[in-house]
């Protein structure tokens, strides 16, 4: 038996239960979990806001642990390997996206902690093709957020088309934003953080921002244009109204990349985009190799998430401080030996 946090139905609190340890099947491994991040996207299973979720469900898609058992057909990973599992929990290999190697957009893709049990538990099962290797010596609790917030920011930025020296704006200094600032600076961009209030300035610069724009004190569009306009703006804060406002802060061939999920529409006119060949795009997290490359880059360059650690038994408390925006900046559950 093992301890696991389950949600019995949408809208109910997380409850610690004693459940059976799952057994790995063919091409699967059993992971002894060391740490699991608490992500804003866990709201989808908590509130029943995602299709295809059955209950009871064990949440958690920022999982780090050690392979405890390997099922039949597992060849490239072994018992004792330290691995991570992110949002991407498996793919079918045969749909159009998979045949193109675009596994994160698999039409039958599994989502860790939503369509299958995740890492709010002492053990979990994962398909071998969903695993990312954790760099040797990396703290499990610091690696966990990189499997969602980290890969989302790094992966989107490296595919956005900016070159070293270009101006990259990061909207929001939260769970995603505090990592996006670090990645952007380490990748060689002129990094500008955008938030509200003078108190954020020192934090932004300590994370690596070259400049800080206090949107409560000055017009952020004018500020960005005075710097030549942004080549990329990573919208890590889910504020569609602010995103709409900042479109005009993009420079020539600038791109607004949406990372923070908001249900409200972004408002932009065609003329705002046409004149400067500007664009608006969304970006999902990434496949397991993207996660592994994110971890390696972070480990190489010294990028470290800011986390608050909670034991598994305090999962409900960790979720509440996260959803209430009272954690700086990622809550992580840690497992007892």
CATH number at residue 84: 3.90.180.10
> What per-residue confidence (pLDDT) applies to 25?
97
Q: Are residues 65 and 132 in the same domain?
A: yes
Task: Select from 244, 261, 282 the last residue of a domain.
Answer: 282
Residue 41 shares a structural domain with residue 117: yes
Grouping H, G, I as helix, E, B as strand and the rest as coil, residue 281 is strand
Nearest to 297 by CA among 182, 139, 207: 182
Residue 191, domain CATH = 3.40.50.720
| Cβ-Cβ contacts under 8 Å for 161 (sequence gap 6 or more) | 231, 232, 253, 255
- Asked if 304 and 188 sit in the same domain, the reply is no
Residues 309, 314, 317, CA angle at the centre, nearest 5°? 90
Print the domain residue range for 325. 2-148+286-334
Handedness of CA 143, 185, 196, 278 (dihedral sign): negative
Residue 150, pLDDT score? 98
161 and 216 fall within a common domain: yes
Distance between CA atoms of residues 276 and 248, nearest Å: 10
Instruction: Please tell me whether residues 60 and 135 are part of one structural domain.
Output: yes
Helical residues (DSSP H) of the chain, grouped into ranges: 43-47, 96-99, 140-143, 149-158, 177-186, 200-207, 220-226, 240-246, 270-274, 288-301, 315-323
Q: Could you list the pLDDT tens digit for every one of the 337 residues in the chain?
A: 999 999 999 999 999 999 999 999 999 999 999 999 999 999 999 999 888 799 999 999 999 999 999 999 999 999 999 999 999 999 999 999 999 999 999 999 999 999 999 999 999 999 999 999 999 999 999 999 999 999 999 999 999 999 999 999 999 999 999 999 999 999 999 999 999 999 999 999 999 999 999 999 999 999 999 999 999 999 999 899 999 999 999 999 999 999 988 889 999 999 999 999 999 999 999 999 999 999 999 999 999 999 999 999 999 999 999 999 899 899 999 996 5
Q: Cβ(301)–Cβ(149) under 8 Å? A: no
Q: How many domains does the chain have?
A: 2
Cβ partners under 8 Å of residue 68, min gap 6: 29, 30, 31, 32, 79, 123
Same domain, 55 and 177: no
**What is the model's pLDDT at position 249?**
98
If asked whether residues 176 and 257 sit together in one domain, one would say: yes
pLDDT (0 to 100) of residue 93: 97
Clarify whether residues 64 and 193 are in a common domain: no
Buried b (16+ CB within 10 A) or exposed e, 73-87: ebeeeeeebbbbbbb
Q: How many alpha carbons fall within 13 Å on the CB side of residue 189? A: 28
User: Please, what sign has the CA dihedral across residues 59, 263, 249, 193?
Assistant: negative
Q: Does one domain contain both 225 and 142?
A: no
Phi, psi of 233 (to 5 degrees): -120, 120
Strand-strand pairing, 132-133 and 82-85: antiparallel
**CB neighbour burial string for 239-255, b if at least 16 within 10 angstroms, e if fewer:** bbebbbebbbbbbeebb
Q: What is the pLDDT of residue 56?
A: 96
The pLDDT value recorded for residue 51 is 84
| Cα Rg, the chain, nearest whole Å | 20
**CA angle, residues 324, 257, 131, in degrees to nearest 5:** 75
Full-model pTM: 0.95
């Amino acid at each position: 038996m093992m301890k696991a946090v389950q949600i019995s139905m949408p809208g109910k609190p997380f409850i610690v239960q004693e459940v059976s340890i799952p057994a790995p099947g063919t091409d699967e491994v059993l992971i002894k979990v060391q740490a699991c991040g608490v992500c804003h996207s866990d709201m989808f299973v908590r509130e029943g806001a995602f299709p295809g979720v059955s209950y009871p469900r064990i949440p958690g898609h920022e999982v780090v642990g050690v392979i405890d058992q390997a099922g039949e057909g597992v060849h490239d990973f072994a018992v004792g390997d330290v691995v991570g599992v992110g949002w991407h929990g498996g793919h079918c290999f045969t749909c159009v996206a998979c045949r193109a190697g675009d596994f994160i957009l698999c039409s039958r893709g599994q989502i860790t902690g939503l369509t299958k049990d995740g890492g709010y538990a002492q053990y979990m099962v994962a398909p071998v093709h969903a695993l990312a290797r954790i760099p040797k010596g990396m703290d499990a609790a610091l690696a966990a957020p990189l499997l969602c917030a980290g890969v989302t920011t790094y992966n989107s930025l490296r595919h956005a088309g900016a070159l070293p020296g270009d101006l990259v704006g990061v909207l929001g200094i939260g769970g995603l934003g505090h990592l996006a600032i670090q990645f952007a600076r380490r990748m060689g961009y002129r990094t500008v953080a955008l938030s509200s209030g003078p108190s954020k300035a020192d934090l932004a610069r300590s994370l690596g921002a070259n400049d800080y724009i206090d949107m409560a004190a000055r017009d952020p569009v004018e500020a960005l244009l005075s710097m030549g306009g942004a080549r990329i703006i990573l919208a890590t804060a889910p504020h569609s109204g602010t995103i709409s406002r900042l479109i005009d802060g993009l420079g020539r061939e600038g791109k607004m990349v949406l990372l923070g999920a908001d249900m409200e529409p972004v408002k932009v006119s065609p003329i705002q985009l046409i004149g400067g060949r500007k664009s608006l795009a969304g970006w999902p997290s990434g496949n397991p190799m993207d996660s592994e490359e994110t971890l390696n880059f972070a480990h190489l360059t010294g990028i470290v998430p800011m986390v608050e650690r909670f034991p598994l038994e305090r999962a409900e408390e960790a979720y509440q401080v996260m959803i209430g925006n009272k954690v700086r900046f990622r809550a992580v559950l840690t497992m007892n030996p």
